[in-house]
């Protein structure tokens, strides 16, 4: 899987709600095995872009291909080969954490009860949840734990692409750093492609290979260094603001 091939290709995308145009003629190509962070001001459609790629939103124009297939509607590509972590975890509240993780397995695979329990326990451990989290219900977990449980469910079928919507928002800095490390480790060992909507400058500098900046209804994709040189005023402010300097100085990027 070292070969560089595009797993997500978006061409000429236009999304619109009523008369409000969110994206216009947006192009984006994401290569296999890279971690792409999506940033942008509030209301520039970061989450909308993610939802559109997943087929949860319909685009007005343009094509989106994921792993070589059009995703106009939620397709089997999304269901079997992608994992999605929604902003608040979106765990099924009537199921325990372990059952949540087993839902995709039950739906798509034929596994014995014992193996499913083992795999669920493994995923729970992998995302750094304590062992007794398995039989708990989502309402009994804290926000950070719910996020981890959501990630465990997203990783349930060992997907090729993982979509994360603000994975570190609402976590304490230590938890957020652990989350970053976890995503990086999983990405390296599994060859994951990660599409991550984030506001967390530390995550951006720590784990993202490339950064997609949503400005003027389009995406500018590049490495951190490239964005630093971009003259666009919003990008300048974003990457050279006081918070950005604080985050990047430590990492030396």
Partner 1 sequence: MAEAAGWVKSVLEGDRLVLSAGGDWTVNGVGTLDRQIRGLALQGAGSASLETSEISALDTAGAWLLYRTQRELAAGGVTVQLNGLDPRHATLVDLVEKADSLHAETDRIRPNVLLLLVNRVGRSVCDAVDELGHLLNFFGLVIITLGRCIVVPRRLRIVSLVNQMEQTGLNALGIVGMLLFMIGVVLAFQSAEQLRRFAAEIFTADGLAVLVLREIGVLIAAILIAGRSGSAFTAEIGMMKVNEEVDAMSTIGLDPIEVLVLPRINALLITLPLLTFFANVAALTGGTIMAVATLDVTYTQFMRQLADALTLKNLLVGMVKAPVFAFLIGMVGCYEGLKVGGSAESIGRLTTQSVVESIVLVILADALFSIIFSQLGI
For 141, residues 6+ apart whose C-beta sits below 8 A from its C-beta are 97, 133, 149
Single out the residue of 18, 19, 42, 131 in contact with partner 1 (rule: CB under 8 A).
Answer: 131
3-state SS, residue 28: strand
φ, ψ of residue 82 in degrees (nearest 5): -125, 150
Single out the residue of 61, 63, 135, 250 in contact with partner 1 (rule: CB under 8 A).
Answer: 135
Q: With residue 145 as reference, give the H or E element that holds it.
A: helix 143-154
Q: With residue 107 as reference, give the H or E element that holds it.
A: helix 97-108
Single out the residue of 20, 112, 174, 233 in contact with partner 1 (rule: CB under 8 A).
Answer: 112
Residue 251 makes contact with partner 1 by CB under 8 A: no
Paired with 196 in beta bridges are: 37, 164
CA 48 to chain CA centroid, Å, is: 13
> CB-wise, 45 or 104, nearer to partner 1?
104
> CB-wise, 190 or 221, nearer to partner 1?
190
Q: How far is the CB of 253 from partner 1 (least distance, A)?
A: 24
Q: Which stretch binds partner 1 (CB under 8 A): 155-163, 172-180, 193-201, 231-239?
A: 155-163
Q: With residue 3 as reference, give the H or E element that holds it.
A: none
* Vertex 65: Cα angle to 25 and 4 (nearest 5): 105
Q: How far is the CB of 227 from partner 1 (least distance, A)?
A: 30
Residue 117 makes contact with partner 1 by CB under 8 A: yes
Residue 32 makes contact with partner 1 by CB under 8 A: no
Single out the residue of 37, 40, 138, 144 in contact with partner 1 (rule: CB under 8 A).
Answer: 138
Residue 189 makes contact with partner 1 by CB under 8 A: yes
CA–CA gap between residue 219 and residue 30 (Å, rounded):
12
Contacting residues toward partner 1, per CB under 8 A = 93-94, 105, 109-112, 115, 117-119, 121-126, 128, 131, 134-135, 138-139, 155, 157-158, 185-186, 188-191
């Amino acid at each position: 899987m070292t070969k560089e091939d595009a797993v997500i290709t978006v061409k000429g995308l236009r999304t619109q709600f009523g008369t409000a145009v969110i994206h216009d003629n947006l192009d984006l190509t994401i290569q296999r095995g890279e971690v792409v962070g999506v940033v942008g001001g509030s209301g520039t459609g970061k989450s909308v872009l993610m939802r559109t790629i997943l087929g949860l939103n319909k685009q007005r124009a343009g094509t989106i291909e994921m792993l070589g297939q059009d995703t106009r509607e939620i397709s089997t590509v999304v269901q079997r080969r992608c994992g999605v972590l929604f902003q608040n975890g979106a765990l099924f509240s009537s199921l325990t954490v372990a059952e949540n993780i087993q839902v995709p397995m039950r739906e798509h695979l034929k596994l014995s009860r014992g193996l499913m329990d083992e795999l669920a326990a493994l995923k729970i451990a992998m995302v750094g949840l304590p062992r007794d989290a398995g039989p708990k219900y989502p309402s009994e977990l804290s926000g950070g734990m719910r996020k981890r449980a959501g990630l465990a469910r997203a990783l349930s079928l060992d997907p090729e692409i993982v979509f994360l919507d603000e994975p570190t928002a609402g976590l304490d800095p230590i938890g957020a750093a652990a989350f970053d490390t976890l995503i990086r480790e999983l990405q390296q060992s599994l060859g994951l492609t990660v599409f991550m909507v984030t506001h967390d400058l530390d995550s951006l500098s720590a784990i993202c290979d490339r950064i997609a900046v949503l400005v003027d209804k389009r995406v500018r994709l590049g490495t951190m260094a490239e964005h630093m040189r971009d003259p666009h005023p919003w990008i300048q402010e974003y990457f050279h603001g006081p918070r950005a300097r604080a985050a990047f100085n430590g990492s030396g990027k």
